[in-house]
Structure 1
Amino acid sequence: MRAQIDSERCQGHGRCYDLAPDLFGDDDEGYGTVLGDGVVPEGREPDARLAASNCPERAIDLLEEG
């Protein structure tokens, strides 16, 4: 699974990095960012889904790989 944040939709609520701080962070203006290369480590998929489902703007996309 790979996570990405649509910067056009993100409004900086911060729920992603509050719920999954090892997967998501914030930039200098408080908008969400994906940490690393966006690959969600095995076993962390539930946390990525929780963060995505709690985003009020639905700015987090989770892409299933292969």
Structure 2
Amino acid sequence: MRIAVDNSLCEAHGQCGVVDYDLFPLDDDGFSAVGPSREVPAGEEATAELGVASCPARALRVLP
């Protein structure tokens, strides 16, 4: 499983980082630093889905 952020949509709410800062790191300005494709460690899939769902700007997504 992989996750990604659309930086043009990220509004720096930081809710993903609250779910799991290691999986959803934020830059110094509070914007997502997930990048265009980040591997989700085995066993962290549910946390990844929760973090994606927590984004009020819908900037995060699970990649196929």
Please, what TM-score do these two structures have when normalized by structure 1? 0.86
Letter in 2 for 1:57: A
Number of residue-to-residue matches in the alignment: 63
Residues 1-66 of structure 1: pairs in structure 2 closer than 5 A = 1-34=1-34, 38-64=38-64
Letter in 1 for 2:42: E
Deviation at 1:34, TM superposition (A): 1.4
Please give the secondary structure, in 2, of the residue aligned with 1:33: coil
RMSD across aligned C-alpha pairs, in angstroms?
1.4
CA displacement 1:15-51 (0-9 Å, x = unmatched): 111101120111121101118x610011100001001
Unaligned runs of 5+ in 1: none
**Structure 1 runs of 4+ off > 6 angstroms?**
none
Letter in 2 for 1:11: E
Larger strand proportion of the pair: 1
Could you tell me the percent identity over the aligned residues?
Answer: 40
